[in-house]
Amino acid sequence: MTNLRSFAAAACGLAAAFLLAGCERPPVESTQTGYRGTGIVQVVNPRIAAANAALHAAPATTPAAPAEGPKARDVYQNVKVLGDLSVAEFSRHMVAITEWVSPQEGCNYCHNPANLADDSKYTKVVSRRMIEMTQHLNVNWKDHVANTGVTCYTCHRGQPVPSNVWFNPVVETPRIFIGDDAGQNKVATQAGLSSLPYDPFTPYLEQEAPIRVGGPTALPTGNRASTKQAEFTYSLMIHMSSALGVNCTFCHNTRNFATWEDAPPQRLSAYHGIRMARDVNNAYIEPLAPVFPAHRLGAGGDAAKANCATCHQGANKPLFGAQMAKDYSGLTALAQALAAGSTLPPPLAEAMRSVMYFDTGSATLHGEQAKGLAQLIATMTATPAATATISGYHSASGELAANQELAKQRAFTVRDALLAAGIAEQRVVLDKPLQTEANIAGEDPVARRVEVTVK
């Protein structure tokens, strides 16, 4: 009897201990990150953190190679964005890039082994533009990436295709009874398995749909934002929270989600992060769609784009703030324009077509190029019935908005010269090309041009 009772007691005790241990395995850590009483705390489960430690560990970097000696652009044949590095440092960058992007495949993932200068593999063309993108992020988006910066590893983590990318969803033709699903009624993996709209990326990380939906008054007076819009905002917010492995109070004082005054400073970092993601997707990744093979594209023909998770992968700072970029000078300064005095191609001056080339960052024509312009004026004067249609272009190096303006100014230079030479205004037409960027990456003299058709 006693034996049985003590056995039962022991069994109960064991079960209780087991249950309690189940609750407490291991206790979660909660850190206060805002004012007392505001509930601004972050909760971390050490077990999950330990399981993900390897994902967030930065790989070791090799010591910098000597910066002296001949430059890569003088030794190699086809170096457009890393030309300023010494040959030794250039090679070190190639080794690092291989380790970050294609460790299994090696150099030949991007290179034709018979000729390293050859651009026939799309992966090399994409990489050249990715180098420029990384430079741009480290130089022009300090508001977001600060001194932590980014390298290829931030997104790629040893894989050619980063683990977190997204495509534009293909909108199915509305079915008769169901109609447009407004992005809902599907399990939204993008939004933490909620039933919120499943594509918060196209409107906010590619387009610029308004995110702020709250009204300033208790009653809905004057606030035109709908419940549906608010659901899209929440979908984005859940993506941002899960991408960073944080809860809403990492960025908000939940007393009032809209207020900025007593919100944690991370709210502002996130604000810049949203704009930066748009810039990455619009200026760099989307224009590469024609370069990617079909099997890399989404159902709608778009390239795989970045969101917060592409870099963060569940950490509040990618790789918990490990500063890898500072050790790679090729990724922390903008590609220098080709050596000064680089030769422009001769201007083209045919009866029906003229092309004039410009120096880096310039909208004026000198020397040979000015002679090409004079030739165009002569042709226009000699054929009074002809109209000149002028289009300006720029190279891929530098900031897109500034470059588009430059392409326009180049077209204006030619137009103004024709008008100044007495050509009637109605015979001079400006035609903005669909794409003013005339090459994929780097500073290519052939790209910096104005084309004129004379008909």
Q: CB of 115: closest distance to ligand HEC in angstroms?
A: 8
Q: Out of 248, 291, 400, 430, name the contact with ligand HEC by CB under 6 A.
A: 248
152-171 residues in contact with ligand HEC (CB under 6 A) are 152, 154-156, 160-162, 165
Q: Out of 40, 137, 196, 365, name the contact with ligand HEC by CB under 6 A.
A: 137
CB nearer to ligand HEC: pick between 38 and 375: 38
Q: Out of 117, 170, 182, 351, name the contact with ligand HEC by CB under 6 A.
A: 117
CB nearer to ligand HEC: pick between 308 and 418: 308
CB nearer to ligand HEC: pick between 315 and 428: 315
Name the segment binding ligand HEC (CB under 6 A); options: 1-9, 95-103, 194-202, 397-405. Answer: 95-103
Contact between 324 and ligand HEC by CB under 6 A: the answer reads: no
Q: Out of 94, 209, 421, 454, name the contact with ligand HEC by CB under 6 A.
A: 94
Contact between 304 and ligand HEC by CB under 6 A: the answer reads: yes
Contact between 77 and ligand HEC by CB under 6 A: the answer reads: yes
Q: How far apart are CA 224 and CA 113, in angstroms?
A: 60
Q: Out of 56, 111, 157, 415, name the contact with ligand HEC by CB under 6 A.
A: 111
Three-state helix/strand/coil letters over the chain: CHHHHHHHHHHHHHHHHHHHHHHHCCCCEEEECCCCCCCCEEEECHHHHHHCCCCCCCCCCCCCCCCCCCEHHHHCCCCCCCCCCEHHHHHHHHHHHHHHHCCCCCHHHCCECCECCCCCCHHHHHHHHHHHHHHHHHHHCHHHHCCCCCCHHHHHCCCCCCCCCECCCCCCCCECCCECCCCCCCCEHHHCCECCCCCCHHHHHHCCCCCCCCCCCCCCCCCCCCHHHHHHHHHHHHHHHHHHCCCHHHCCCCCCCCCCCCCCCHHHHHHHHHHHHHHHHHHHHHHHCCCCCHHHCCCCCCCCECCHHHHHCCCCCHHHHCCCHHHCHHHHCCCCCCCCCCCCCCCEECCCEEEEECCCCCCCCCHHHHHHHHHHHHHHHHCCCCCEEEEECECCCCCHHHHHHHHHHHHHHHHHHHHHCCCCHHHEEECCCCCCECCCCCCCCCCCEEEEEEC
Contact between 123 and ligand HEC by CB under 6 A: the answer reads: yes
Residue 43, φ and ψ in degrees, nearest 5:
-110, 125
Contact between 148 and ligand HEC by CB under 6 A: the answer reads: yes
CB nearer to ligand HEC: pick between 231 and 451: 231
Q: CB of 251: closest distance to ligand HEC in angstroms?
A: 3
Q: Out of 33, 167, 202, 271, name the contact with ligand HEC by CB under 6 A.
A: 271
CB nearer to ligand HEC: pick between 307 and 436: 307
Contact between 240 and ligand HEC by CB under 6 A: the answer reads: yes
Q: CB of 27: closest distance to ligand HEC in angstroms?
A: 23
With contacts defined by CB under 6 A, how many residues of the chain interact with ligand HEC?
Answer: 84
CB nearer to ligand HEC: pick between 270 and 406: 270
Contact between 407 and ligand HEC by CB under 6 A: the answer reads: no
Contact between 296 and ligand HEC by CB under 6 A: the answer reads: yes
Question: What is the pattern of x (binds ligand HEC, CB under 6 A) and - over residues 193-212?
Answer: ------------------xx
